[in-house]
Every structure is written in C-alpha cells, then in structure tokens.
Structure 1
C-alpha cells in the first residue's frame, strides 16, 4: 500500500523554482539535501541558459567569479532535479499551471529593472542604463539588438558601486584585454572602435561612503592603457567623514581610501585613457540637441542622518560637464509578477522570511508560494549572500510542509507535467541541452585564440545548434 504522506517516495514533495540564478540553485540544493524528505525540483528559466546574473551580469574579465557555476552543475546532477530552459512564466506557463502540478513555488526572479535618475533629459539618446550595457556586453539575448554610440570622447558613469566600476573598466580596457574574456562578439567589435578616452565615475556621496569594493577599485589601476585620476581634494575627508570613519570601523572602506589616496598622489602618466573619480555630485539635468551633450550636476555636502549614516545634501553650487554618453548605475529593482502582491516602493514581493504575504489581506500568507534572492530582500549582497537567504526561505517551506500548509496541486505528477509543457509547443531546454550549448561555446572560444568561451547571443541560435546537434550536424563555428 502506497504511503500518502507528503515527502515520501510514493508521494514526493514537488517544488517549482522560477529563475536559475544563484538564489534559485541554493534553494534547490537545500530542498534536495533535506534528510528524510523526498523532493522533486523543477527549475524554470525564460532563457535557454541558466545561472542568471552569473552569466549575464558578472563582468567578462571576472572568470574566477563565474567558476561558481561548477557548484550549480553538481546541484543540477541530482536525479530529482529538472531544468526547463526557454520556458517563461506568463508566456508559456501561468502561475495557475505551476500550482496545479506543484506543492510549492519559489520565485527566484531577481531584480530585472533598473532605477532611474528622474531628471530632465534622462531619455535623450546617449543616456543609458548600465543594466542594458552590461547585458549587451555579456551577450544576454534581451540586449543583443541594442547599440551604443561610442564615437565621442567622454563617458559619465553615475554610481559608486561595483556595477559602475564594471562599466568604467570595460570602457577603459583595450581591445586586447577584452579579447581574452568571454565578452560578446558584437560588444568586442564595437569597443574595438570606441573613441572614449575619458570616463568619469560620479558619486553623490563622499569617498568614504563609496559602495565599490577594494578589488574593483584596484583593477581600474591595473589596466594597460588607462590611468585612474583622483583630485587630492576630492578624496580628502571632511570633518564629519573623518569622525564617522573612526566611529564605524570598516576594513573595505579603509582599503578603498588607501587606494584612492594612492591614485591621487600618482603623477600623470599620459595614458591613452583616463578614469576620473568624482564624489559629492548629483546629476540634475542632461542637455543636448537630439542627443546628450552635457550634464548639469549639483555639488553636495554630507550631513548626519538619524540612523548614524552621512547623507548627501545639495548645495547651491552647480557645474556643467561636457559628455557624449551617460550610463546610470544607481541600482536594480524587481518587477511585479501577475497575481502576486508587490511592493512598488521597495521593488520586492512582500514576504515574511521568504513566505509571500499579502498586505491587502492584513499580511496573510499566500499559501505555498515563496521568494528568494533580490525579489525577496532587494538588490543587496554578493553571490554568496544568496545561500543563507535561500536556506531561510526553504526552512520556512519545510515548516509549512510539517504543518500541512502547502499548496494542494490538482495533479502532483512529474510525468504529466512534462507532457503538459511539451503540449504547449515550447522548445524547452533541458540541463543536458544546456551542457551542449556550454560545450559548443567553450569550443568556439578555444578556436579563437584561447578565449574562455564565445557566447551565443540569440535564443534562436541556441535552439538551432541544439537541433543541429541532434541531427548530427556541427554548429560550433
């Protein structure tokens, strides 16, 4: 007689994970590692390729960081793990479809949108989101068709985090340096012809409040044809910052200040490109006739806030900077999922330790639905931050399993569900299919001077090479 207890071999706990970035994989691992509970995980991604921002966001010259995908490969090798790539929620499957075949759904969809500056002229040609630029140079299919006019001399990158640093570093790199990475072919060609020689990194707060890491800051100074420029007065701390630094010890911040002061003390080397660090300035307007030609900034000063931090406050001093292209890198935010509550201000799905709650229903728990990663907590932390975050959510899921509070699907049968996906005429990509794409990309890179890989940048390309491989052809050129 079959055991009807949920989580047994006869009646496995079925969980759908929407999104295949780090938070999704860490959630899958924690689910599949639970002693005494039989779990089946179905992971979905709207792209044929897994790994989220590890593939589409991490800079192409940061291959060591990307090696974390080997951990995800091991998770995907679990016999109860299934990957459905090129399957999009809302296009191919609905939320109701997922709940009809799973006891729980975990949304690991990240924060796909970017925050805007909210200033006049922001929509002028030549004003771009760093999110778009990063996706473009990382061969993300959503951004393949974009173009960036790099024919001018001056770029301003608004923001003082690691994404801003990545954008500045890519712009300041030589084509030879970029050719050793897995940067998209179309981006490599465009950057090879770039005329950008001055890159300004613009931060609204002071040097002590910069959010980038020492590693990223040092890397700027290691480029072959670029020099980092910092005015000694710009990196000098005011009295409030000096006191704040003493009262709030931070090793990374101290390292940043040390590196910035070294840049400020260095002689002008006459490098082909310059990366200029500027602080305490906020854009107030972009101007231009048909495209961006200048940026007006207001100079800021720091003032204490009630939380002990120092916040920028605008002064009456303004400056106009000639500029040819602008990238805003001031943060990501999540986007709503149809049928689920959403916090517009925070850009997250409301939740209690990962359980989705509905503020319109007095924060009642939405049965059987959970969140992990940036859509849960906002765009904070590093890749590793997602592991404890995912574990917290999965622990809440197991608590609901024990309490009988998960979803009751109509047909908790994996075979039936796989047939439903097939009937939707979706070109679903399995993990084995992804490994074929992966192998071909690596082979293409090896054939082009030993690059880590040459990425496919169109979904149709990926589907075509899989079909070609199945019929015995070769599409690795």
Structure 2
C-alpha cells in the first residue's frame, strides 16, 4: 500500500511539474523566445543577426521610429562614401529572415511603452543610437548659422527632421569645431564640387543649396594637438586629395611629431606620419594639385572656442578661441589646458562637431543624464532583468561600424547565454502579436519590410530620373504614401 501511494504521489508530482513547465517554461521542442530590438541602425541589425544565428527558434521584432530602416548607414554615412552603405545588403538579408520582423513608423515611449514590450517579449534590446548634440555652452551659440554637424549631415542625407534646416552658405568661410570623422565629412561636403556630389544619393535640396554656395575656405578646429585627433587616415587622405582644394597644415604645428611616430601603435603611426609629411614634406603631386586649387581647408590645433562674435546685423562675425597647452605623460591622451592667449577666426558659418549623446525615450529605462547613455554592464542594463543595450546608446558615440558590429554580436551572444542559463525565464510570450493590436487601436500606420521595399523602389526610380543612385523621400507622409504603391 505504501509503495502504491508513493507511486501515485510521484505520478502526480510529475504531472504537476510537466504542467508547470508547459505553462511557464514551454517544452524544449515548442518554446519560442521573442526579442524586441529598438532601433534599426547597425547596432540593432548586428544584434539581430547574432540572435538569429545563435538560437534556432528565437524571433526578433525590430522597432523603428521612422518608416524606413538602416539608421546611421542611411542618414549618417556621407553620400560620397557609397561603399560603406553596402552593409545594407547584409541587413536586408537579415530583415528578410522568416524569424525577423521590421516594425517601422513606431515611436517607443509614445506609440507603445516599454512596459507593453516587457509583457510581450522575453528580452528587449535598446539600440537606438545617439540623436542629441553636445553643446558648446558659450556666448553666441544661438546665433543664426551656428549649426550642429549632426543636423547638417541629416540635412544633406535627407533625414526628415533636418530637411528644412536653415543653412546660409552665402559667406566665404566656415569653421568646423571638432577633430573627428564627422568634422571632416562636413568640411569635405562643403568643399566638394557639386558636379561630383550630383552623382551620389545626396538629397536634392542640399545639392541645390551647395551649388549656390560661396564657401571657399573651411577651418577645422580642435582643442588638442595632432597626436590626439579623432579622425582616421582615410578621411584625412580624402581631404588632402580633394578636387580643386588646397590643404593647409602649418609646419610648426606638426614638425615635432616626426620623431615620435615610431613609438605609436600602427593605425595612429600611419595617421601621424601623414599629418607630418603633409605639413612638413608634401609630395610634388600635392604641391601641383594645391597650386591649382580654388578652395582650401586648414587644420587648426590647440584652440577652444570661448565665444561666437556677432556683427551689427546679429550674424556671425568670428569665433573667438583661447589657445591651449597640453599636459600629461601619455602623449596620446594629454589634456588641453587653456592659456591667457586668444585668437579670432573670421567666418560666417559655424558647425559644432563635438560629439553626440543619447536621450531617454521611456521612464522605464534607466538613464544616465550626465553621460547621455543607458547604464549597463557589458550590455546588460543595470537593474532590469531582460533588458539590454548595444551600440552608442550604451557605449557613447565612439567607434565606427566595425566596432558597432562587434558590440552588437556580443550583446546577441549574451542574451542567448542568459536564456540558456535561466537568467531570462523561459516564459512563452506573444511577441508582436501582443503589440500590433495596440498599435492598430491607436491608429498607428505600421510599416513592415515589404512596405519599405516599396519606398525603396520609389526612391531608386526618382534617382534614375536624376542620374543618381536614389533620391530619398524626406517627408514621412510621402514615405507612407509610397507604401501604397502597387508592387
């Protein structure tokens, strides 16, 4: 009798355990994890790529506030760098995976909340990048024609929020504040002949404005020295070889770095060597090229802007800068310390390129306001189980697409590892099926990837008419209208 009761008890325990596993864990054969990725730029797509690769059943829904995907690859890469945009082909393959869904024209925090997503998904990945600009916080920063480089990039790349940016190109001199790749990008676009730009996917409104530009000189100004610049050798070489444009790097600014190049890591060594040779020993080809130039650009070092000076018409007259000196033993990371000397650079356009920061999109997401990032440990958002981040929203705006790829892959691997270890409970969730009805009820016009392909077809068609790769739609309603086009 005891044995029989024990057997019955055991069977009941097994039935209850199986019922619990079916209810809360799912069977190993039918449990399908659902992950929401917020942001469809490189970080979002690379994370998605890894998630789909690392788990045979996992499904990913990519949410994007715009009706179109690809983020900074579409809106941040310079139009004369089409080879960088080839990664879109890989992202397209990912988006067309049957376990991946693109859900565009949805604003997280407004159209749908993080709490809604937490109910519908096993994990949430925040990959929405860094949209806000860092400010100079100096007098005159609010004058007309003091513009963020990010906004100018959005303007010439057709980002809807920047398409009506007011840019006055009637002056002959511009100052770009910053020594990163974006600073060189905007300087290059301002100085590149429009006959060259017209063959790219630059937005037509920007091309028309640039065709009437009077800008002949651009100063690219940084607070530290030639050993601390953040731009890369590719961008510098492009500027040195820019058509009809002269490069000015003062010999006294770079003569001292020639003896230091052997001590530097290889990428920095090559960059430093090019800076040195350009300033001290330019090639005959350089000299011939520059002698015919009708425009020029100049690198300026050890200057920090303290004031943007206006004239009597409340327009930019000049940028006032304090001269700096460098302190610290690590020559690549020395700090700029201001002196008592100042200089003024006459100009009519100022472009601020001193970095970006992310913004909070929902109160349920922890956020470090001072650093402009989501606090995290190797991709796990601090204090929230099942929430992760990848790309600039977690690391800050550092690195290029390659480093973003590595970060996205690592986050994807981490999520699958946390699922396998039980850190993320194996509770069956609904995924997009729990979210789309809410969006429909709110009247949100959701754009899927097939609808994006209709937008893409319209843009490519417009571009062919103009003799260029594409002409981007810059108005949200135009994009939504294009999704109704017949295939």
Matches within 5 A, 1:50-199: 50-199=69-218
**1:273 Cα offset (Å):** 1.0
- Equivalent of 2:438, from 413, 416, 420? 420
**Is the contact made by 1:101 and 1:410 (CA closer than 8 Å) also made in structure 2?**
no
Aligned counterpart, 2:370: 345
> Cα gap change, 1:409/1:420 in structure 2, threshold over 3 Å: closer, same or farther?
farther
- The CA deviation string for residues 155-175 of structure 1, in whole angstroms up to 9 with x for no partner, is 000111100000000000111
Aligned counterpart, 1:274: 296
Normalised TM-score (structure 1): 0.90
Larger displacement relative to structure 2 (381-390 or 127-136): 381-390
The DSSP-based 3-state class of the residue aligned with 1:236 is helix
* Cα distance in structure 2, aligned partners of 1:403 and 1:83: 28
Normalised TM-score (structure 2): 0.89
Query: Is structure 2 residue 343 aligned with structure 1 residue 329?
Result: no
The DSSP-based 3-state class of the residue aligned with 1:44 is strand
* Cα distance in structure 2, aligned partners of 1:260 and 1:177: 29
**Is the contact made by 1:213 and 1:256 (CA closer than 8 Å) also made in structure 2?**
no
> Cα gap change, 1:308/1:169 in structure 2, threshold over 3 Å: closer, same or farther?
closer
**1:101 Cα offset (Å):** 1.0
**1:271 Cα offset (Å):** 1.9
The DSSP-based 3-state class of the residue aligned with 2:399 is coil
Aligned counterpart, 1:19: 39
* Cα distance in structure 2, aligned partners of 1:313 and 1:400: 46
* Cα distance in structure 2, aligned partners of 1:158 and 1:260: 21
**Is the contact made by 1:333 and 1:348 (CA closer than 8 Å) also made in structure 2?**
yes
Cα RMSD of the aligned pairs, angstroms, is: 2.2
Aligned counterpart, 1:378: 396
* Cα distance in structure 2, aligned partners of 1:329 and 1:198: 17
> Cα gap change, 1:308/1:327 in structure 2, threshold over 3 Å: closer, same or farther?
closer
**1:88 Cα offset (Å):** 0.8
- The CA deviation string for residues 414-473 of structure 1, in whole angstroms up to 9 with x for no partner, is 434333332221111111111121122122212212x11111111111111222x14x8x
* Cα distance in structure 2, aligned partners of 1:337 and 1:177: 39
* Cα distance in structure 2, aligned partners of 1:8 and 1:91: 36
- The CA deviation string for residues 137-164 of structure 1, in whole angstroms up to 9 with x for no partner, is 1000111111101100110001111000
Larger helix share, 1 or 2: 2
The DSSP-based 3-state class of the residue aligned with 2:297 is strand
The DSSP-based 3-state class of the residue aligned with 1:440 is helix
Larger Rg: 2
**1:404 Cα offset (Å):** 3.1
* Cα distance in structure 2, aligned partners of 1:228 and 1:82: 47
Report 1 or 2 for greater relative contact order, CA contacts < 8 Å, sequence distance ≥ 6: 2
**Is the contact made by 2:157 and 2:202 (CA closer than 8 Å) also made in structure 1?**
yes
**Is the contact made by 1:6 and 1:13 (CA closer than 8 Å) also made in structure 2?**
no
**Is the contact made by 2:219 and 2:299 (CA closer than 8 Å) also made in structure 1?**
yes
Aligned counterpart, 2:266: 250
Aligned counterpart, 1:231: 250
> Cα gap change, 1:66/1:6 in structure 2, threshold over 3 Å: closer, same or farther?
farther
Aligned counterpart, 1:466: 483
Aligned counterpart, 1:304: 328
**Is the contact made by 1:225 and 1:272 (CA closer than 8 Å) also made in structure 2?**
yes
**Is the contact made by 1:182 and 1:453 (CA closer than 8 Å) also made in structure 2?**
yes
Query: Is structure 2 residue 473 aligned with structure 1 residue 453?
Result: no
- Equivalent of 1:48, from 67, 74, 82? 67
Structure 2 unmatched ranges of 5 or more: 1-17
**Is the contact made by 2:39 and 2:62 (CA closer than 8 Å) also made in structure 1?**
yes
Paired residues, number: 458
> Cα gap change, 1:223/1:178 in structure 2, threshold over 3 Å: closer, same or farther?
same
**1:108 Cα offset (Å):** 0.3
> Cα gap change, 1:306/1:235 in structure 2, threshold over 3 Å: closer, same or farther?
closer
Query: Is structure 2 residue 412 aligned with structure 1 residue 388?
Result: no
Structure 1 unmatched ranges of 5 or more: 358-364, 473-477
**1:7 Cα offset (Å):** 8.3
The DSSP-based 3-state class of the residue aligned with 1:199 is strand
* Cα distance in structure 2, aligned partners of 1:10 and 1:323: 65
